[in-house]
Amino acid sequence: MDNKLRQEIDKIEIPIELNNRVILGMENAKKDYERQLIPESKSDRNKWSLGKKIMFLSSVSVLLFGLFISSAFVSPAMAKVISTIPFLNSIFQSKPISSLIYDELEEKGYKISGIGTSYSPHKIFYVTLEGTDKYYSEVKDEVKHTVSEILKSKGYDAYSVEVKKVRKEDYVLNEVENKEKNIIDNEVTKELKQLNFKFDRVQTDPTEKMIFINIVGSKKYYNSVQNDVKKMALEVADGNKYTGYKINVTRVTVEIRKSDKGGQIIPTIAEGLMSKKEFKVTGVGYKSKPLSFIISTSILSSDPTAKALGTKIESMIVEFLKSEEISPILDNESYEVVVNSKDNKKIN
């Protein structure tokens, strides 16, 4: 943030209530929100915990712009200051829109099951709620209004908003099932450690009578221990009077790599371009070698305004990539911006 902008912000009088919210938000901003998308299919769900499902984008809260915006009531003075920051940079300095909306709904006390966005065939921001049919009927309009106001405060006019009740298959364990799951998870984990098995995950699904254990190590090691692990887990379940369980021992390896340059930048570009109708953007992607940012739009190349739109989108991205916040990430690496029309022709 440059000195001129900081001076302008310092001049703004912030209401006490909002100031307290900002202070709290700055403390919370030290935490890295890493709420991951959880698979929806039944087969995939069995591999994961059946606790509350929260579909979220990973983010780190950076400055306080998002905190003002997340209240959905931006003062004219602050709105003027924010307007001086290039569009994509203001997004980069804020929480992702999903985080803003989730935090606002959580603060208001709504029973949120999940939030997310859908881009095809239409751009929809959706919220799913837990609770009874009566509760859903009572709050769905309030939730929709809250989400719409936050989107409006950010200038995101490309989305419609849908509020739905959690589906029956998105099952939440009851108290007895949750106790059973916790006991088996803990006891199997303790026994695996005592016997020095190499593993990284134990997940119990009491509704399906399944215990999932993921072994870490070579394929040879997995083959040598899987039967012993199955036998041990079954004995633990039976010993705690939880009978009828089947044991699924897997070896799923995940390579964790440091996010490349494009991966650190593309979420901001995607949120900014796909959230506004004026850009007509239907897809945002990139490739690492050579570094290229590829934007798909819904405009035809024959449209007389196509060239101007492509040029405008490219200019915004270049301005963003050359900014003080982003240029250190690129570290002088060359890149290309490609904006394609609906009929797959370059329009920039």
Cβ neighbourhood burial of 267 (10 Å; 0-12, 13-18, 19+): middle
Please report the DSSP string for 236-305 in residue order.
HHHHTT--S-EEEEE----------HHHHHHHHHHHHHHT-GGG-EEEEEEETTTTEEEEEESS-TTSTT
pLDDT tens digits, the chain, 348 residues: what are they? 444 444 544 444 444 443 443 334 333 333 333 333 334 444 444 333 333 332 332 232 223 333 333 333 444 554 444 445 588 888 888 888 988 899 999 999 999 988 888 877 789 999 999 888 899 999 999 999 999 999 999 999 999 999 998 765 556 788 999 999 999 999 999 999 999 999 988 999 998 899 999 999 888 999 999 999 999 999 999 999 999 999 999 987 655 455 678 888 999 999 999 999 999 999 898 888 899 999 999 999 999 999 999 999 999 999 999 998 899 999 899 999 999 999 999 999
What pTM did the predictor assign? Answer: 0.55
Q: What is the pLDDT of residue 244?
A: 94
Q: What domains are there in the chain, each with its CATH number?
A: 3-165 (no CATH), 175-250 (3.30.300.20), 261-340 (3.30.300)
Distance from C-alpha of 146 to C-alpha of 73, rounded to nearest angstrom:
11
* Cα gap 244→180, rounded to integer Å: 13
